[in-house]
Structure 1
Amino acid sequence: MKTNYNVCITSGGTSEPIDTVRRITNTSTGRLGSKIADAFIEAGANVYYVYAKGSALPTLACRQYEVDTVDSVSEVLTLLFDSVSFDVMIHAMAISDYEVDTISSLDAMSTSIHALLAQTPKPSQEEIKQALRDSKEPTRSKISSANKNLVLTLKQTPKVINQLKAKQPNVFLVGFKLLSNTNLESLKNAAFSQINQAGSDLVVANRLEDIHHSEHIAYFIDTTGLIHQAHTKEEIASSLVQILYKKSKESI
């Protein structure tokens, strides 16, 4: 690989606030991302490590950036992509697919609908939706635990990985795909879908049931199909370095 080989790695799992003390999150630990970072640092790359708060960190020194929400990830990556020309982007972070849209309760919702029906015997679908939105609870502070039957509506967050190639078209983009209770063919199809939508050059695909403390089976998939398989986090990390080493046709 060339001198001044710049690698950006995202790791861990983001979270989205419900109120000032509660959050929606996922189970990602960031251990795989930290091992990938260490492998590239050992190989001599300049690593920029974007990690979710509380996730695992590399043991070796590198530039580190803490994030929590999807918006904060986008902000940090925009700043980095505007200031650094990256050779590789490894997007190993488990990004929240949804964030809270509204919070209400069955009591508040039924009251709002009852009031609507009193005014409009045959309301439209949009009028019903608006009435439900109007029943939402304020979320500027902690929601009282006295509230019963809370109802949360969620909305999709922006797909961060889909924005990366637009920022730097020549970056080698490595995406990750995690499914559960599925077969290899479905996993490959999900990887191909990411390649088509995000422009990923390589997808590391895995199934939740294949991830254990000492074992982590992963399938490396590009436009040609399955090109490699690894069985531990350490193998995944070293395999990525080897694959990128071949791509660069130079030693670091």
Structure 2
Amino acid sequence: MRILITGGGCEEPIDGVRSICNFSSGKTAAFLCDHLVAKNFSVTAVFSQRAVKPQKSVILYSYRTFQDLAGTLQQVLGQHSFDMIIHAAAVSDFSVDTVTINGIGYPSGSVGKIESGSDVVIRLKGNPKIIDSLASWSRNKACRIVGFKLTNAAPGKVREELAYALLKRTDIDFVVSNDLSEITGDRHPVCIYRKKSGKDLECRYQGQTKQELADILTMIANEIQGDSV
């Protein structure tokens, strides 16, 4: 059984030495890769350049920007057949459109280094949601998809509503709801949602640590493997 896992976070260049990025380190995704390899699954990892990488043997692709990640996933998913996708990367909602320096506009990343004292205006543009395209990009149309929905100090009801909205909008099968305010070290509380009949939402699994999250995803992978036999 083949599993693709994304990890780390996008960087969007401002100039040749600066970028807009997020806090994602890729540690959880790397932990999941190593755990699933140890359980004898074939793992392909698509990780950002700065992310912590898996220690065990995986097929590794790297990306930096949103466009890098989208292009790599479209190519890899179209060329190879995967049974499961775990999309844990922190994808940029915005990229830099233009950088205006002292009244003159430049494309993002085209200026070597903006000099200190400059008057700078950065214009952002919204990015499409990569998770919305994973099913259509996938060569294997029976591939099961696990997405992550990160919040920060959000009430439980809000987390549930966001998980439901993601499941409703996309063709994914599970949403891992996690909150940044609760993640410390090995502690990583999650509630994994899936659709039920009609408009119902079910918290199918719960865990409190990275290890428990890895065990749950392994259980789901085993169920998928059993269904395909």
Relative to the length of structure 1, the TM-score reads 0.82
Larger radius of gyration: 1
State whether structure 2 residue 25 is matched by structure 1 residue 29: yes
Measured after TM superposition, the shift of residue 249 of structure 1 is 2.4
1:47 is matched with 43
Unaligned runs of 5+ in 2: 197-201
- Aligned equivalents of 2:224, 2:30: Cα separation in 1: 22
1:90 is matched with 86
Q: Taking structure 1 as reference, are residues 172 and 250 closer, same or farther at Cα in structure 2, changes over 3 Å only?
A: closer
State whether structure 2 residue 214 is matched by structure 1 residue 237: yes
Q: Taking structure 1 as reference, are residues 98 and 238 closer, same or farther at Cα in structure 2, changes over 3 Å only?
A: same
State whether structure 2 residue 141 is matched by structure 1 residue 164: no
In terms of fraction of residues, the more helix-rich structure is: 1
Task: Report if aligned partners of 1:177, 1:206 keep a CA contact under 8 Å in 2.
Answer: yes
- Aligned equivalents of 1:75, 1:140: Cα separation in 2: 21
The 5-angstrom pairing of residues 43-192 of structure 1 reads: 43-104=39-100, 108=103, 135-137=104-106, 139-168=109-138, 169-192=141-164
Task: Report if aligned partners of 2:15, 2:114 keep a CA contact under 8 Å in 1.
Answer: no
How high is the sequence identity, in percent, across the aligned residues?
28
CA RMSD of aligned residues (A): 1.9
2:199 is matched with none
Structure 1 window deviating more from structure 2 (145-154 vs 196-205): it is: 145-154
Q: Taking structure 1 as reference, are residues 176 and 170 closer, same or farther at Cα in structure 2, changes over 3 Å only?
A: same
In terms of fraction of residues, the more strand-rich structure is: 2
Unaligned runs of 5+ in 1: 109-134
- Aligned equivalents of 1:83, 1:160: Cα separation in 2: 17
For residues 107-154 of structure 1, give each alpha carbon's deviation from its aligned partner in whole angstroms, at most 9, with x where no partner exists: 62xxxxxxxxxxxxxxxxxxxxxxxxxx42465223432344422111
1:11 is matched with 7
